[in-house]
């Protein structure tokens, strides 16, 4: 009887130990399965997140490209207008500089002409004094003064080469004035 009880207890104990080992094996397998499932799930989540991130980046790039194109196209007329305005302003500056250069050349030529006229005046003044000589000297001085005043108005306005004398009704051109002065001086020196 006693042996039978001990044998029964041993069998129960053996079965319990076997069940415990089986439970440990099953728990290990379950843990392994859970770990594998977690890893696979994490990888799947990471892959989905990466795919979504790439899609978002692609959409963002497309949106930025579209926005830049639209903004650029919207500003093209404004840029063209600014370019035209800049070209017009540059042309105006170029024309103004050209007129200024022409004015400087005219001024230099006129300044070179004045000493020659003064020489004519002195030559006339040193000749034998007579009514015709005094008339010639007066005429030369008059034309010289008219040329000087015309030139001063020319440098003030620089818009045209022909100016009007305030005391006369006809226009006075610098080259014509100098020719008149020289012609008058030379022709009147022959008057008795």
Q: Residue 166 and residue 149: Cα distance in Å, rounded? A: 9
Asked, for residue 104, whether it belongs to a domain, the answer is yes
- For 120, residues 6+ apart whose C-beta sits below 8 A from its C-beta are 140, 181, 182, 185, 186
Residue 180: the pLDDT is 52
Report whether 147 contacts 171 (CB < 8 A).
Answer: no
Residue 191: the pLDDT is 39
Confidence tier at 184 by pLDDT (50, 70, 90): low
Asked, for residue 129, whether it belongs to a domain, the answer is yes
Residue 173 has pLDDT above 50, yes or no: no
Q: Bigger pLDDT: 86 or 173?
A: 86
Asked, for residue 54, whether it belongs to a domain, the answer is no
**46-64 per-position pLDDT tens digit:** 899 999 999 999 999 999 9
Overall domain count for the chain: 1
**106-149 per-position pLDDT tens digit:** 777 777 777 777 776 676 666 654 556 666 667 667 767 766 66
Q: Residue 135 and residue 185: Cα distance in Å, rounded? A: 10
Asked, for residue 77, whether it belongs to a domain, the answer is no
C-alpha distance across the termini of the chain, in Å? 186
Domain span holding position 177? 98-188
Asked, for residue 144, whether it belongs to a domain, the answer is yes
Asked, for residue 130, whether it belongs to a domain, the answer is yes
> What are the distances in angstroms from CA 139 to CA 113, 133, 153, 170?
17, 10, 21, 17
Find the helix packing angle between 131-157 and 2-126, rounded to 10°: 170
Asked, for residue 43, whether it belongs to a domain, the answer is no
Half-sphere exposure of 186 (CA within 13 A, CB side): 8
Q: Please name every residue paired with 173 in a beta bridge, in sequence order, or none if there are none.
A: 162
Asked, for residue 22, whether it belongs to a domain, the answer is no
- Counting every residue written for the chain, the total comes to 192
Answer whether 0.75 is exceeded by the pTM: no
């Amino acid at each position: 009887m006693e042996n039978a009880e001990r044998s029964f207890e041993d069998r129960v104990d053996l079965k319990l130990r076997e069940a415990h080992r089986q439970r440990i094996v099953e728990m290990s397998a379950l843990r392994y399965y859970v770990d594998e499932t977690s890893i696979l799930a994490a990888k799947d989540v990471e892959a989905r997140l990466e795919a979504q991130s790439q899609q978002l980046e692609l959409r963002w790039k497309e949106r930025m490209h579209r926005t830049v194109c639209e903004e650029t196209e919207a500003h093209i007329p404004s840029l063209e207008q600014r370019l035209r305005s800049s070209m017009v302003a540059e042309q105006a500056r170029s024309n103004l500089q050209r007129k200024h250069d022409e004015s400087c050349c005219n001024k230099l030529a006129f300044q070179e002409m004045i000493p020659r006229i003064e020489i004519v005046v002195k030559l006339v003044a040193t000749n034998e004094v007579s009514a015709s000589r005094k008339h010639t000297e007066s005429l030369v001085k008059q034309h010289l003064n008219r040329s000087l005043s015309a030139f001063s108005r020319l440098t003030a306005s620089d818009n045209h080469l022909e100016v009007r004398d305030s005391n006369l009704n006809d226009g006075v051109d610098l080259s014509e004035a100098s020719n008149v002065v020289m012609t008058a001086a030379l022709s009147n020196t022959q008057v008795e």
